[in-house]
Amino acid sequence: MIKRGNRFSKTWYGSPSIRGAVIIALVVVVFLVLMLFFREDGGESGSLSAVTMEKWNRFDNVVQFQPTVERKNGTELIWQIPDRPKAVLFLAHGCSGKAGNFWDRTSSCPDCVGLPEERLIVLHALSRKFAVLTITSSGKCWSFGNERLVVVGVVKWWIEKQNLEKIPLVALGASSGGYFVSAIAADLRFNSITLMIAEGVFNRMDIPKDYPPTLFVHMPKDEARKLRVDENLEVLKEMGVDVAEIKCMEFPLSPNFLADRIPNLDLTTSVQLFKLFQERGFIDKNGFMRNDGRATRWKAAASERKILFPDKKLVNHIQEELNLAFAYHEMTSLQNEQIFSWFESHMK
């Protein structure tokens, strides 16, 4: 025990080298505590500490887009199967979307557009050996009458045609696609499903006892939907369904963010847009979007500033990323690791 006034205590307090070592040790301890705190918080909430800000070309040396486009009874399918697939992933787009949003434009899919979040979901899936099937809805949004029966039939037909009946089947749907996936999960034997920015249609359906494990990926800023997600989490939990949620939070823009996320958008243009957003007050002093991208007049401002894009279609790509940063209602790939870990944990 060190007593006050003891010569050893004087040495302990008086030595600069020891004092510095103690300070460094305390800093390290505080850092580790903070790391654990954010890791635990992020694992549940999907905060930035728990997501991966993948660059658009992260998978260039891992997997390439080689989609096949075909039609079955008037329904458009776009798909790709990796070597030795371990599962099938069905993806359902949101309103005004299409299967081509998930795939980069290639010679085999000249009408594909490769929206930044959708394409990263597909690339992540292919890199983890998931065969990916996307289907275009018959109307602006998915419907739940005849279309439900048609899509269920097409999915079954495609799986049999590709001899994939013996591997697990999972699904992810966003917005309208999330409602649709929640409905067809009563018709198809999914090992698990993910409902993104959608609470499902559980109040309008008879939920079977063997309903698949369900992951809700949602944005709490949409408070009304958050309440409905909370309700459905409890409903499914009471039925014995394995459920979980990921809360996707807003995050600040940076000068290079858009270039990092969007193919063919150069860094110069990304920096110009960031400066424009600062000057026009579209983002606050910390880089957070003040409004949803859809409610921000950034396109008119960019036109006035004569900011040129390599491709006019990039406007929709930028729009998606601004919506994502605001975190109210948008497709997201930032939680890919958590989502695919959920799928893989329910494949046995």
What pLDDT sits at residue 52? 67
CA separation for the pair 130, 107 (Å, rounded): 22
Nearest to 230 by CA among 242, 218, 240: 218
Other beta carbons less than 10 A from residue 302's beta carbon: 20
What pLDDT sits at residue 75? 96
**At residue 347, does pLDDT exceed 70?**
yes
CA separation for the pair 246, 233 (Å, rounded): 12
**At residue 44, does pLDDT exceed 50?**
no
Domain 68-249+332-345 = CATH 3.40.50.1820: yes
Averaged pLDDT of the chain = 88
Which SS3 state, helix, strand or coil, does residue 283 take?
strand
**At residue 315, does pLDDT exceed 70?**
yes
DSSP string, 185-236: TTTS--SEEEEES---SGGGS---TTPPPEEEEE-TTSHHHHHHHHHHHHHH
What pLDDT sits at residue 73? 87
What pLDDT sits at residue 38? 33
Burial degree of 337 (CB within 10 A; 0-12, 13-18, 19+)? middle
The pTM (predicted TM-score) of the whole model is 0.86
**At residue 193, does pLDDT exceed 60?**
yes
State the pLDDT confidence band at 228, using cuts at 50, 70 and 90. Answer: very high
Q: The tokens of 296 are what?
A: 């921000």
What tens digit of pLDDT does each residue of 78-110 get? Answer: 999 999 999 999 999 999 999 999 999 999 999
What pLDDT sits at residue 22? 44
Nearest to 180 by CA among 191, 167, 168, 193: 193
State the pLDDT confidence band at 12, using cuts at 50, 70 and 90. Answer: very low
Q: In whole angstroms, what separates CA 152 from the centre of its chain?
A: 24
What pLDDT sits at residue 306? 96
What pLDDT sits at residue 53? 83
Domain layout of the chain by residue ranges = 7-45, 68-249+332-345, 251-326
What pLDDT sits at residue 153? 97
Q: In the predicted model, what is the mean pLDDT of residues 302-309?
A: 95
